Structure 1
């Protein structure tokens, strides 16, 4: 059974970079449960009826394994439209289709012609200020060539509004004036990198401002949202070397792009990129850094069990620690430190299957996580199961129910 996405609100957008290794975050979406299977089959049959032979339905690359069918109320009349893209293997064309539902029957209303071989991004948001949602599609001819296209749909009509080359893009009201801006990052690594904020005005997009960025950086993660209690910003996590990365925060003040702080690169410097995100779910984006535990300051990068610390930026005070976690990516878990542990504990890894959190002054065990391969697992006295995945059972020898709640599977 094919999956059908139900999208019910404008989306914030992530951006995708041209070069380097890319760690992408999925955009924040609200997805309703799919309709009944018989309704799904009606739409699927309607789409299949108009597809030419040799057509391949496309899911957005950026979303991974998602449905090629998007149900979205474009004109905000409480009735969903369906948006589907396909690539014609015979004519080498990329085509988008907009279907409308009339009395229980889906019929094709409009067709979009795209340029590329992949549908890289597909998002829906109001970028014209009319409270309807535009179709925002990113087409790709491989990794190094991507084009962004925006379409405005009304029943019986579809109008292209904008197209540009892009690496990543985001839609958000950065200056908090009640209108969404389209902000586009375009990178030709080693040559140029620029970010431009556009506003739809008088039937077209105008560039509010443009800023040059680090052309040697690999932009691993770019998100937008509140960066303080009252300021929105664009947050870019940038890798500049094998063991060098930093985070930049941009503001749109009086329609001018500016760095939140000239010291941001220095105060956010880290060995590896860490995706910024709203870790503590307080509505404000935190910036990640990697901190070597006490005793590991002179160890190699590969052998250091870094503590990932997330900070909130303050206009005057720099960074304030909000959350600390130890991630074990290979085994698939993380342990979140209680705030009272700050600067009091370090990590000891006596072997590859056990991590212990001990006090700095006395070396006293406070908590530990032991990974036992599933096939070797046998319950033992004085051990407490924390969780399990398909490879490991995770246990601790510390009898503390509160601390066990800080363990999380990834």
Structure 2
């Protein structure tokens, strides 16, 4: 009876929220960008699928497809793997494995587990570089329902389960430089009450890997706060991988932890013994302490503290993930936290005892704009005077003592219905502009928006040295296109 109630709850959640991961065979077979190879795979797997089946695309999957090829046993021949459900509302997911015999596809095995969708799929060398394991994470479909990870080896046309664990978050990769993959899991939170905040919930992080041919626990670390997200990424130029954790720590308080494998423990890199505020203000390298490999819980440190949880990412696309800190632009320190125009300041670990500044970006309220390096120390941010939506107009200004300030750039969001009128006005006045993106209506009662960058004409009231510096700081349309990082942007008239 308890299981039936759980299934009913999950089905209700699916009906309410929808399931974007489930697609019909026709959707996949007739997609306009489907390659000939993919069409061939779909035709190969169809005879083995039951009537009324629906292919399902795993949520965390590099291929973005419900069918793929992979060599599961290391014999040099690829197996075909397909994910499907017998009907859209089934609380059961099937993983079909086929092999080729004399040029003909034959069924090897069928893995079936309870769940509404597939949360994770990985085909990785956990115990041997010659034959990978198949990692499958199944989700129940709603918050509070645990996810299940199953790990399979494959040989003699048979998949054998070698590991099983419940989890809330998962990340997989080579943490110790051995060439094999380890599995980092955050177990489900137990005995959590509705009155507890994320800061009051302590997390545990477990790292599993192969020892003597078996998957076993290699290390564990407690974390102060509830882990919001976890990524295993390349963390430094020396090809060292790390776990980037984003952790809320209270109201307007959060921090990032970077855990690396260090002497058979998980050590936090982001610790500092002294103040880093001055170095951060000047974007200088931030000094780090010795990695914290103690048995004490990982906790918030001044070098990684932010007002809100942030997501580490490879912002400059060099293959190394950066940690993002939130910095307050000059002149906005007295604003309420909800309206402070925070700058996302990205730092990269040097593999030793420093974080090196990479770039600043303005990433709030739907904007995403890289701050030019030459603006550092020479700009301020002002919001519009609109008391309800001051973020609808962001002014990057050049301030000059003794002279009036001048706009360097204006980011603006306006209703789609008003854009045509403004565009005609800009063209008539020969004002340079760049359309950054079109924003769809998020919900009923909201309107579609257009995000645009306005490039002001040269300021006539600046003189002398101030005017010359202002000219050096100004941007043209090509630079705005590059700094916005979107090749699909629609440019306006080139700035003079």
Report the TM-score when normalising by structure 2. 0.67
Which residue does 1:252 correspond to in 2? 261
Q: How far did residue 101 of structure 1 move?
A: 4.3
Alignment match, 2:164: 163
CA distance in 2, matches of 1:34, 1:155: 35
Equivalent pair of 1:229/1:284 in contact (CA under 8 Å):
no
Shift of residue 339, structure 1, vs aligned partner: 1.9
Q: In the aligned structure 1, how far is the partner of 2:408 from the partner of 2:40?
A: 58
**1: distance between equivalents of 2:234 and 2:362?**
25
Superposed counterparts of 1:3-402, under 5 Å: 36-37=35-36, 39-62=37-60, 66-75=64-73, 79-88=77-86, 92-101=91-100, 105-142=104-141, 143=143, 144-154=145-155, 156-188=157-189, 192-214=202-224, 216-227=225-236, 229=238, 231-263=240-272, 265-314=301-350, 318-330=354-366, 333-350=367-384, 352-362=391-401, 363-371=405-413, 373=416, 374-376=419-421, 377-378=423-424, 379-390=427-438, 391-392=449-450, 394-398=452-456, 400-401=475-476
Change beyond 3 A, Cα 1:315–1:356: same
In 2, Cα distance between the equivalents of 1:102 and 1:389? 51
Deviations 1:113-167 (A, max 9, x none): 3243321111221112233332111012233211111112235122222111112
Deviations 1:42-82 (A, max 9, x none): 43344343333454432223459943223334345665432
Structure 1 stretches of 4+ moved >6 Å: none
2:287 aligned residue:
none
Question: CA shift at 1:236, angstroms?
Answer: 0.5
**Other structure's SS at 1:403 match:** helix
**Structure 1 residue 235 displacement after superposition:** 1.2
Other-structure match for 2:388: none
Aligned residue pairs: how many?
Answer: 374
Aligned residue for 1:266, secondary structure, equals: coil
| Higher-helix-fraction structure | 2
Alignment partners' CA distance in 1, 2:233 and 2:133: 19
Distance 2:47 2:239 in 1: 51
Larger Rg: 2
User: Following TM superposition, by how much is the alpha carbon of 1:295 offset from its aligned partner in structure 2, in angstroms?
Assistant: 1.6
Structure-1 residue corresponding to 2:14? none
State the secondary structure of the residue aligned to 1:267.
coil
Distance 1:206-1:191 versus aligned 2 partners, 3 A rule:
same
- Cα deviations across residues 277-304 of structure 1 (Å, max 9, x unaligned)? 1212233321111122112111112222
Question: Can you list the C-alpha shifts for 1:224-249, whole angstroms capped at 9, x where unaligned?
Answer: 32246464321101123342210011
Distance 1:78 1:98, change over 3 A: same
Answer yes or no: is the 8 Å Cα contact 1:81–1:98 preserved in 2: yes
Q: Which has the higher contact order (CA 8 A, sep 6+)?
A: 1
Residue 28 (structure 1) aligns with: none
State whether residues 187 and 194 of structure 1, in contact with CA within 8 Å, keep that contact through their aligned partners in structure 2: no
Compared CA separation, residues 395 and 262, structure 1 to 2 (3 A): closer
Q: What are structure 2's unaligned runs of at least 5 residues?
A: 1-31, 193-199, 273-299, 386-390, 439-448, 458-474, 490-496
Higher strand share: 1
> How far 1:369 moved relative to its partner?
3.1
Kept in 1, the 8 Å contact 2:408–2:455? The answer is no
RMSD: 3.1
Question: Closer, same or farther in 2 for the Cα pair 1:34/1:77, shift >3 Å?
Answer: farther
CA distance in 2, matches of 1:327, 1:92: 39
